Amino acid sequence: MQFIVQPSKLRDATVSVPGDKSVSHRALMLGSIAQGSTRISGFLAGEDCQGTLAAMRSLGVRIEQPAATEISINGVGLHGLVEAESELDLGNSGTAIRLLAGLLSGQAFVSALTGDASLTGRPMQRVIAPLQQMGARIDSHDGKPPLTIHGRSPLRCIDYAMPLASAQVKSAVLLAGLYAAGQTNITEPAATRDHTERMLRSMGARVAAAGGRISIDGGQELTGCHIQVPADLSSAAFIMLAALLAEKADILIRNVGVNPTRTGIIDIWQAMGADISLENPRSLGEEPVADVRVRSSKLQGGRVDPALVSLAIDEFPVLFVAAAAASGKTVFSGIGELRVKESDRIATMATGLRALGIDVEESEDGAVVHGGRFTGGSVDSHGDHRVAMSLAVAATVAEGPVTINDVAAVNTSFPGFDECLRALQAEIRVVDDVAT
């Protein structure tokens, strides 16, 4: 599947984007092991989250989906999951496989986790290591999926100093900590998204967090509740980028999650001169939300603070495009984690931007992007949803039409992306295959 995008004059608009993927995954998992019913509103009905939903059903949880974004879960409690009859296919989702590895490590049965070609090429040793310290036995293919998890009940509690900042690893250990005897402690080297901690508290669990140290006591039962999923800031970032790059646009994105562990993208863009403001701040349960207003801006390159990397780790493809449109050069460092995402995002973005006339220098854990003008052309997303959407937005201000190849994965996180861009008057067309 391809996007074919023409240079476009965007107009003022008020839009919405789909629900937060990170929150949706966690709501399914925690609702499943809670006592009583959990209702989820604003659920992201993308392929990744549907894969997690199917996995929880396979583990014996009754889950109903009366509408695409509405979910009802009859929780089975901490020890009510049952062994699945076959392996659990998590598709393209690193979040699902890593968090489920933690959850299933505390069960009294064996589980097998797999995914698509992209997922089975991604490293899992960073999550395997602490879970094995807790007593689980996890078989892998040289540290990559498929994973076979021989659970242990109860697990051992541990004090774990994470070598790299990772919300997925932290969350996996916290979920396993529910099944450990005693208190599990995690120290993270930099702040990462804290959706798991917030949702655990909303379900009645005691989770302490201070000074980069998070603690949870094992054996705590969760209580089902109503979870309202905010719009995903990572998805909103593409619409924000389109507004920033446009000649003259004023765009409001409604009901966006602005959890402070996720807003590094806003901080970085504002440092580059972006006109971004948060309006009508409020809360959906434990999660802060706001309407995000973005006006077209002249961006200025510079050195991106490495301390903000963990707060914007999923948004670097859009940051690369913003840097390419900015004046001067932008220097990224400390972003080596991007090389083991759905694609090697440093290499994939560098190659895509070069194909559109932008000068990019790569290093092992960074890049230097020189601002310029996007030419027309053809680029490959390498099946990476965030790369595909970032390059599609770049194409709206290119000098000629741009074709982005291999974009089917966009549906994993932002179903309706092309319609949302068209609401801003972008000229984007979806082509099923090259022969069409």
Nearest by Cα to 366 from 309, 328, 299? 309
pLDDT in tens, 200-241: 999 999 999 999 999 999 999 999 999 999 999 999 999 999
Q: What is the DSSP string of 32-88?
A: HTSEEEEEEES---SHHHHHHHHHHHHTT-EEEEEETTEEEEEEE-TT-----SS-E
344 is catalytic: no
Taking 50 as the pLDDT cut, the residues of the chain under it are 435-436
Q: Which pairing describes strands 137-141 and 144-150: parallel, antiparallel, or unpaired?
A: antiparallel
Catalytic entry in 20, 232, 314, 380: 314
pTM: 0.94
Q: For residues 290 and 300, give the distance between their C-alpha atoms in angstroms, rounded to a whole number.
A: 26
pLDDT the model gives residue 434: 52
| Type of residue numbered 170 | K
Report d(CA 303, CA 103) in Å as an integer. 39
- DSSP 3-state of 137: strand
What's at 140, amino acid-wise?
Answer: S
CATH code of the domain occupying 21-228: 3.65.10.10
Say which CATH class 2-19+231-431 falls into.
Answer: alpha beta
Q: Within the chain, which residue ranges are assigned CATH 3.65.10.10?
A: 2-19+231-431, 21-228
Structure token pair of residue 432: 């099923």
**Residue 305, SS3 per DSSP:** coil
Which residues, at least 6 apart from 284, have a Cβ–Cβ distance to it below 8 Å? 228, 229, 230, 255, 257
CB neighbours of 38 closer than 8 A, spacing ≥ 6?
27, 30, 31, 72, 73, 75, 224, 225, 226, 227
CA-CA-CA-CA dihedral for 200, 206, 207, 208, to nearest 10: 150
* 369 in Cβ contact with 353 (< 8 Å): yes
Cβ neighbors of 287 (< 8 A, separation 6 or more) are: 20, 23, 195, 198, 228, 230, 257, 259
DSSP three-state, residue 411: helix
Q: In angstroms, how far is CA 352 from the centroid of its own chain?
A: 21
DSSP state of 92: T
Q: What is the pLDDT of residue 436?
A: 41
